[in-house]
Amino acid sequence: MDIRSRLGLRAVINVSGTMTGLGASIVAAPVVDAVAEVLPQFVEIDDLQRHASTTIAAACGSESGYITASCSAAITLSIAATMTGDDPGLIERLPDTTGLANEVVVQTGHLVNYGAPIDQAIRLAGARAVPVGAATEAHAYQLAAAISERTTAALFVVSHHAVNYGLIPLEAFIEIAHAKGVPVIVDAASEYDLKRFIAAGADLALYSAHKFLGGPTAGIVAGRKALVRAAYFQNGGIGRGMKVGKEGIVGAIAALEQWARRDHEAVRAREHGYLTLWEDALKRCPGVRTQIDPDPTGNPLDRLKVSIDPRVARTTAWDLADALARPRNASRPVIVRDHEAELHYFFLDPCNLHPGEEHVVLERLLAELHFARDSREPAVTPFHARDAKRATARKNWPD
């Protein structure tokens, strides 16, 4: 029996992506085995993290690395590391940064919210974000001018939520920061390429273990040895509340190993099969346009962009997304990628499907489109009402 029905949970189908709110990703079978194997045993965590360092170094082309609770924790602890080094007195003093350089330069277009605001991950260490440029444009001279003796680090964020045009590219960003002696931290939480950022000169590159890697919830810090050590030592300070256990460390190591062995071509071909299955059927539906859309940050991954014309489809992209997530009958809930729904489209992400679920996704889409077309009244809710509705629905949690 599916554990979800035992717990009274809905058996959701995820065509949204690797979302914390949905349980991140499908943890690969060898990773599940490794975690189950270590859970009943004692280990010496320094030695386990030393092993993780070797695995991360090989995977990322870095000097060293360690595992933390999440990429968000990795951001906080990396920034802490730039301020304290390996000094235990300073590590215990955080988040009090009196007298320390504590400014982190970051492009305004990189100040994303990945479930929490990224500038809060900076503030948690006792540092503060110094925004560079405007939301949609930043220049080298602005970065250079923002760096002073108060600067402790420069943070570069790679995300589909970040503004992906008009900003300072990674190579120039690193060059300017390094010319002023400032270490560069790259938040690459969702990036498939484990080597690119270190190879470009980043001092630290940070990843999530539970996203594309198919690991348990954990964060990966890769980079220069002295900085990695200083970040690891934060576990005796502010890192304590962001603790990762043996299961997270072993799971992240196993995830990196299985990623190196994964048949990426075969996975891509399977995902492409899902996209063409959906596209062939949906493009015949009135008021629906489809397009295979490459990942905005350049991951080797396509999604199906489904655009809805409300005048013809008699529903909107967001009403359709909500109907898919909250079926009227016993069918399975389908969660689409709808963070840009007010622009009249959503995406279908093929990465987190179990075999056969691609057909359920299509059946549900066709059924909801059909239902909307045949309804007496068009299902068109004003978009601004959607946020308020969601906030109300959640307000009395856990009731």
The smaller minimum CB distance to ligand PLP, of residues 109 and 310, is found at 109
Q: Find the shortest distance in angstroms from Cβ 199 to ligand PLP.
A: 19
Q: Find the shortest distance in angstroms from Cβ 372 to ligand PLP.
A: 32
Tell how strand 151-157 and strand 184-187 pair up: parallel
The smaller minimum CB distance to ligand PLP, of residues 93 and 110, is found at 110
Q: Find the shortest distance in angstroms from Cβ 172 to ligand PLP.
A: 20
The smaller minimum CB distance to ligand PLP, of residues 155 and 176, is found at 155
The smaller minimum CB distance to ligand PLP, of residues 242 and 324, is found at 242
Q: Find the shortest distance in angstroms from Cβ 80 to ligand PLP.
A: 16
Rounded CA-CA distance 124/281 in Å is: 48
Could you tell me the sign of the dihedral formed by the alpha carbons of 350, 355, 361, 363, in that order?
positive
Rounded CA-CA distance 203/227 in Å is: 8
The smaller minimum CB distance to ligand PLP, of residues 169 and 273, is found at 169
CA distances from 73 to 113, 187, 315 (A): 14, 11, 40
Q: Find the shortest distance in angstroms from Cβ 278 to ligand PLP.
A: 24
Q: Find the shortest distance in angstroms from Cβ 208 to ligand PLP.
A: 3
CA distances from 291 to 278, 279, 304, 339, 390 (A): 10, 8, 6, 17, 29
Q: Which residues pair with 156 in a beta bridge?
A: 186
Instruction: List the one residue out of 55, 47, 70 whose CA is nearest residue 257.
Output: 55
Instruction: List the one residue out of 293, 334, 78, 282 whose CA is nearest residue 186.
Output: 78
Q: Find the shortest distance in angstroms from Cβ 73 to ligand PLP.
A: 7
The smaller minimum CB distance to ligand PLP, of residues 74 and 308, is found at 74
Helices H / strands E in the chain, number of each: 16, 12
Q: Is residue 329 classed exposed, middle or buried when 0-12, 13-18 and 19+ CB atoms within 10 A define those classes?
A: exposed
Q: Find the shortest distance in angstroms from Cβ 157 to ligand PLP.
A: 6
Q: Find the shortest distance in angstroms from Cβ 193 to ligand PLP.
A: 14
The smaller minimum CB distance to ligand PLP, of residues 76 and 290, is found at 76
Greatest Cα-to-Cα distance within the chain, rounded to the nearest angstrom: 70
Q: Would you say 313 and 378 are in contact if contact means Cβ atoms under 8 Å apart?
A: no
Q: Find the shortest distance in angstroms from Cβ 366 to ligand PLP.
A: 31
**In the chain, which ranges are E strands?**
13-15, 64-68, 103-107, 128-132, 151-157, 184-187, 204-208, 219-223, 288-294, 302-308, 334-336, 345-348
Q: Find the shortest distance in angstroms from Cβ 156 to ligand PLP.
A: 10
The smaller minimum CB distance to ligand PLP, of residues 60 and 157, is found at 157
Rounded CA-CA distance 254/28 in Å is: 9
- Amino acid in position 89: G
Q: Rule CB under 6 A: which residues touch ligand PLP?
A: 20, 70-72, 114, 157, 159, 187, 189-190, 208, 219
The smaller minimum CB distance to ligand PLP, of residues 208 and 352, is found at 208
Q: CA torsion 97→238→155→227, rounded to 10°? A: 90
Q: Would you say 212 and 182 are in contact if contact means Cβ atoms under 8 Å apart?
A: no
- Amino acid in position 154: A
What residues contact 105, with CB distance under 8 A and at least 6 apart?
A: 130, 132, 143, 146, 147, 151, 153, 154, 155, 177, 182
The smaller minimum CB distance to ligand PLP, of residues 20 and 331, is found at 20
The smaller minimum CB distance to ligand PLP, of residues 75 and 138, is found at 75
